[in-house]
Amino acid sequence: MKTLLTVAWLGAAVSGLFAAPFSDLSFDAASKEAARSGKIVLVDFYTTWCGPCKMLDKNTWTDAEVMQLLKEKTVSLRIDAEKETALAKRYKIGAYPSVLLIKPDGTEIDRLVGYREPGIFVADFHAALAGKDSVSRAHDALMAAGTNDASARMQFGVALAQKGRDAEALTEYLWCFDHGLDAGPGFAGVRLSFLLMHIKSLGADYPPARKALATRRDERQAKVAAGLTDTQTIMDLVSLNNTLDQKEKNFAVYEHLPAGSMAKDYVLMLSADQFLEAKRYTDILQGQDGTSSFQMALDRYNMMLDSIGKDSPMRERLEGTMRQMAVTVGAHCFEALAGLKRNRDGKNLAGRILKFDSSAATRDLLAEAAKRAGNSELAGYVKPLSVK
């Protein structure tokens, strides 16, 4: 019994040390305490499933300088946004973690969205209290980078959106979508991924954002109907359909394009998951056994590595990304072969994929692909049952 009590006491002590910067007061009580002590209220809105929230817990909230800062300047709270929904709704919390700096009267000073390392958190905290909120900082960064810098303008839009300045945020986002490629091809990937994600998120509460996406989709659809099938128009059209949750329209785009065209290949590449879900396996394979598609992905992977110096800090990150892209292309073809019960071709392709990347993650990916296609033989081939 004495041992159990000792363990319980030690656990409580460790927990208390971690929770030291934070109070268990209610929000109203924390606001009153902040007014009495001349401090502000800091609220860390988190969720239990949020990875960046856990990184804040591990790295930032345990940092000695951060803990001292919170102790001196704030009455700090950690609030599960999925439990205290009224307060989260009051402050329009839509991303996690969102760390709000709030005056005792409830007025928001600034919000710091996403993970911040201790040093960056301290710098942003001081800047916010000095009158430089996240919008001001993002605007300064944009001015420093130049107004034609699409990445800086997108981040400025993000800061505006987080402050509820929806119309201004949409203006920045649409400039990035309409003109970002003119400023530099390096923005191409971000434009059809993160940028569209930001516009879609804005459209959840601000209908003009969704309308703007639909307008741009319809413009590209009209161009394709008129015979314009350049790569960028096709990629825009498919990506906009996906963002608008109207992926079924991509089938019509695919059928409209001439057989063997590069544009048709791009539709297939961008919509592979959709074609597999619809069990359009022959479209995925395009009359082949999948090895040529996988080889093309390998060639792109090798070309990328050749273009980057061995000592480049970007090499490791890009190598992992391109490796996963190559494996994914192979897995799509493997699933199509599995669905068509072309097991001999499936085993041949699986062997080539696993020769390139024999990790457990790749085996799991291939096994799940075969299972989705209802092919237990190929699922067992790529991931044999463990012998106990």
**344 and 248 part of one domain:** no
Residue 82: inside a domain:
yes
Q: How far apart are CA 192 and CA 220, in angstroms?
A: 14
- Asked whether residue 195 is assigned to any structural domain, the reply reads yes
Structural domain includes residue 273: no
pLDDT of the residue at 186? 79
Report the alpha-carbon distance of residue 187 to residue 224 in Å, rounded.
23
> In terms of domains, do 149 and 251 share one?
yes
Annotated catalytic residues are 50, 53
Identify whether residues 148 and 125 lie together within a single domain: no
CA distances from 273 to 77, 248, 280, 285, 329 (A): 42, 12, 10, 13, 10
Establish how many alpha carbons lie within 13 A of residue 193's alpha carbon, considering only the half-sphere containing its beta carbon. Answer: 7
Are 39 and 102 within one domain?
A: yes
Q: How far apart are the first and last CA of the chain?
A: 39
| DSSP character at residue 288 | S
Judgement on whether residues 193 and 229 belong to the same structural domain of the protein: yes
Q: How far apart are CA 247 and CA 217, in angstroms?
A: 12
CATH number of domain containing 89: 3.40.30.10
160-187 exposure pattern, b = at least 16 Cβ within 10 A, e = fewer: bbbbeebebbbebbbbbbeebbebeeeb
How far, CA to CA in Å, does 157 sit from each of 166, 254, 303? 9, 33, 35
187 and 82 fall within a common domain: no
What DSSP element (H or E) covers 328? helix 315-339
pLDDT, residue 3, reads: 45
| Same domain assignment for residues 194 and 223 | yes
**Residue 95 in domain:** yes
Is residue 190 in some structural domain? yes
Contact, 42 vs 76, CB < 8 A?
yes
Whether residue 144 sits in one domain with residue 124: no
Is this prediction's pTM over 0.85?
A: no
Asked if omega into 313 is within 30° of 0 (cis), the reply is: no
Q: Is residue 105 assigned to a domain? A: yes
Q: Which two tokens stand for residue 243?
A: 């963002």
The total domain count for the chain is: 3
Q: Are 127 and 145 in the same domain?
A: no
Tell me, yes or no, whether 121 and 101 share the same domain.
yes
How many CB atoms are located within 10 Å of the residue 205 CB? Answer: 12
| Local structure of 350: helix, strand or coil | helix
Whether 58 and 102 map to the same domain: the answer is yes
Could you tell me if 224 and 244 lie in one domain? yes
If 0-12 CB within 10 Å is exposed, 13-18 middle and 19+ buried, where does residue 130 land?
Answer: exposed
Task: Determine the 3-state secondary structure of 311 from DSSP.
Answer: coil
Look at residue 24 and tell me if it is in a domain.
yes
Is residue 11 included in any domain, yes or no?
Answer: no
- The residue from 79, 103, 131 where one domain ends is 131
**Which range marks the domain in which residue 347 is found?**
291-382
pLDDT at residue 387, as a whole number: 39
Q: Which pLDDT value is given to residue 16? A: 39
Residue segments in the chain with a per-residue pLDDT below the cut of 50: 1-18, 386-388
